[in-house]
Amino acid sequence: MRLRSIKTQLIVSVLLVELASAVLGTTLVVLYERHARFRAFDIMLRGRADSLLGAVQDAEDAQDSVMLDGSEINLPHDDIYEVWDENGRVLGHSPAWKIPGGSNVLATSSKQFDKIRVNGTRYRTIQMDGVRVVDPGDKNGGVRRRVTIVYGSPTRPAWKAVWNAVLFYGATSLILVILTGVVMFWLLRRGLAPLDELAAQASGLSVNSWLFAPSDRIRETTELAPLATALETAMQGLERSFKQQHQFVSDATHELKTAVAVIKSSLQLLSMKPRAPSEYQTGLERCQIDCRRIEEIVVKMLTLARVESNMTGTADHSSVLSTNLGQIVKSVVTQLETFAELNRICIEVLVSDAFTLDIEEDELELLCSNLLMNALQHSKAGDVVRVIGRSVGGWLELVISDQGGGIEKEFLPYIFDRFYRNDFSRSRRTGGTGLGLAICRAITNKANGTIELRSTPGSGTTVVVRLHLDRNSCTPTGITAEQIPSNETKSSSC
């Protein structure tokens, strides 16, 4: 693909505009100079024709005719003229007049000014009629003799003056265009230097170098500041995402490697010496537990990858999913009821069936299942786990709280990180993989919702999930758990 320079395009565009302006300006100059020059030329012709009329004198003959007195004529030698009287008699003509005498070639022209060519030379002519009075002292005021004068002058000097003016303006415009091009190149090179600097910094980015620090000159440039900020934000996001992916792979490898090492150690321990059948049975059961743990880790990793892969903005939001929260919660409680009963934990559900959410049904079920199972695993016998759904404006708040041991304050910022477990011994006991809350956060992020965990050591933990109610939800705003009809959605399992 051919690369195009913005500087070159700008310079060429401006120079073309300037060149077109110069051509237009020169054309206007030609028209103006031609009009001005030939207007002055016509005035000159008229003046010289008047001089000829003044040279027509009384011939002092019996017919009271007139004559052209050439002794008083002082006109340019290359001008042409001819004077004739009302009878067509030629009174005189210039030495350069090459037209046969008495032909009166211009007598029939209706134009006062005309153009003729004589011996290859172009002339502009004026035809003027005049009257001379012979013997004006007579009692009748003398005899009036009408004369016609045709006077012409070469147009070459006028055209030369016009073209000299065109040459001056054209050369001046061309020099200005060239100077403008040079100045523009220097100014654009100086003005676009921040863009070149930005491109140089962007080209230096790679998976091994995420440093992108635009200079103050770039940040202070109005056109580049938004681009620099966008690139900086994008680079920070990519760096964070790359590190998260790298950390995820590292954590997953560590978890799987640990589980495989445990299985390998168990098998090695069994093979070290002959053992009783009961010992082999116990060892195999322990291996099965670890295999199930590996399987659970892999399933959750795939689930997390699936949810996050659908967060790229390709999801179709044109239709409303209208997933019923109350039915999903009841289904999850039913699935975990046996676990709760075995551990003597009471589950209270205060969720209206009127809540519908614009979220995938299986993802909402997974979200509720993970949070409720997490609450059950961290509760003790006799505790109560509450699941409350309430609307706040256009939002649904799903609150799941337990009465367990709680989480220390310093662990809360990392509780949604992948494979994070603040208590490994308890996680091992409860079968936790450190991916459940990460999956919950991925699901809420995908639904443009939020998830928040509040905990006080010794007083239990509360998870608050906020999701958008879909537009088909008929739930009144501000509903509280106490307002939910007991025969509809309020249930408990103890």
Q: What is the pLDDT of residue 43?
A: 94
Environment class of 429 (CB within 10 Å of its CB; exposed 0-12, middle 13-18, buried 19+):
exposed
Q: Measured between alpha carbons, how far is 202 from 53 in angstroms, rounded to an integer?
A: 87
pLDDT of residue 99: 65
Confidence at residue 314, expressed as pLDDT on a 0 to 100 scale: 47
Predicted pLDDT of residue 458: 84
Size (the chain), residues: 494
The per-residue pLDDT string of the chain (494 residues; one tens digit each, 9 = 90 and over) reads 555 677 788 888 888 888 898 889 888 988 998 999 999 999 999 999 999 888 888 878 877 888 888 777 788 888 888 888 888 888 888 887 766 655 555 555 567 888 888 778 888 999 988 988 888 777 777 888 899 998 999 999 999 998 898 889 889 888 988 898 888 888 888 888 888 888 888 888 887 788 888 888 888 888 888 888 888 888 888 888 788 778 778 877 877 888 788 888 888 888 888 888 888 888 888 888 888 888 888 888 888 878 876 665 444 555 566 788 889 999 999 989 889 999 999 999 998 888 888 888 888 999 999 999 989 988 988 999 999 998 888 788 999 999 988 888 888 888 888 777 665 444 555 556 678 888 899 899 888 899 999 988 888 899 999 998 876 665 544 444 444 444 344 555 56
In the structure encoding, which two tokens stand for residue 152, read together? 């012409």
Asked if 387 and 329 count as a contact pair (C-beta separation under 8 A), the reply is yes
Q: Angle, to 10 degrees, between the axis of helix 193-203 and the axis of helix 225-271?
A: 10
Query: What are phi and psi for residue 89, nearest 5 degrees?
Result: -80, 125
pTM for the whole structure: 0.51
Give the pLDDT confidence score for residue 428 in this predicted structure.
Answer: 52
CB 322 within 8 A of CB 358: yes
- Please tell me the predicted confidence (pLDDT) of residue 231: 87
Picking from 156, 153, 161, 129, the residue whose alpha carbon sits closest to that of residue 44 is: 153
CA–CA gap between residue 73 and residue 85 (Å, rounded): 18
- H or E segment to which residue 436 belongs: helix 436-446
Task: Look at residue 138 in the predicted model and tell me its pLDDT.
Answer: 77
Say how many C-beta atoms besides its own lie within 10 A of residue 32's C-beta: 12
CB 93 within 8 A of CB 81: yes
Confidence (pLDDT) at 475: 52
Angle CA 354–360–365, to nearest 5: 75
